[in-house]
Amino acid sequence: MTPSAWVLPGWAYGAITILGLAAVTALSRGFFLWSRRDLRLPDALQRALQVAPLAAIVAVLAPEIFMAHGALIDTWRDARLPAALAATAFYAWRPGVLGPLLAGLALYMPLHVGLGW
């Protein structure tokens, strides 16, 4: 039994937990913005950290495209691979955001919803 059952009603326990989570967001996003002093990381590190956002995006995308059930996709009957290829090809032709998205979806939707890949 959680403490909430005898101290707080469930919704209040949930609300406090959620407000705490909001504080976690503020703390992590503002981590190096808190200090009043002028923070300066070593130049070499600062430059190297510039790849962090690209790395984070790729780290989110790669498993979403190449993995199923915690392992690399082991079948070609998965709609995500052809969809990602179509989006990539479209980007090579015309760089942008919406075009590759629509090209990918044009392949993904029939394969995934239609054929269940």
Partner 1 sequence: MHLRDLSRDRHFRHGASDMLAFGPGLAAWGLVTGVAMTQSGLGVGLSILMTLTVYAGSAQLASLPLLASGAPMWVIWASAFCVNLRFVIFSSQWRVHLGHLPRRRRLVLGYLLADLNLVVFQKAWPDRAAHQTGQARYAAGGAVAVWTVWQVSSLAGIVLSSLVPLSWGLGFAGTLSMLGIAYSLLTDRAAWVAAIVSAAAAVAAFALPLKLNILVAIAAAVAASILMAKANQSAERRA
Interacting residue with partner 1 among 61, 77, 89, 110 (CB under 8 A): 61
Q: Which residues contact 108 (CB under 8 A, 6 or more apart)?
A: 79, 80, 82, 83
Number of residues that bind partner 1 (CB under 8 A): 76
Candidate list 9, 16, 68, 110; residue touching partner 1; CB under 8 A: 16
- For partner 1, the binding residues in 68-107 under the rule CB under 8 A are 70, 72, 79-80, 83-84, 87-88, 91, 95-101, 104-105
Q: How far is CA 57 from CA 22, 43, 69, 89, in A?
A: 22, 23, 20, 19
Place of tokens 């479209």: 90
Question: Which residue do the tokens 């015309």 mark?
Answer: 94
Interacting residue with partner 1 among 6, 7, 39, 76 (CB under 8 A):
39
Q: Does 42 bind partner 1 (CB under 8 A)?
A: no
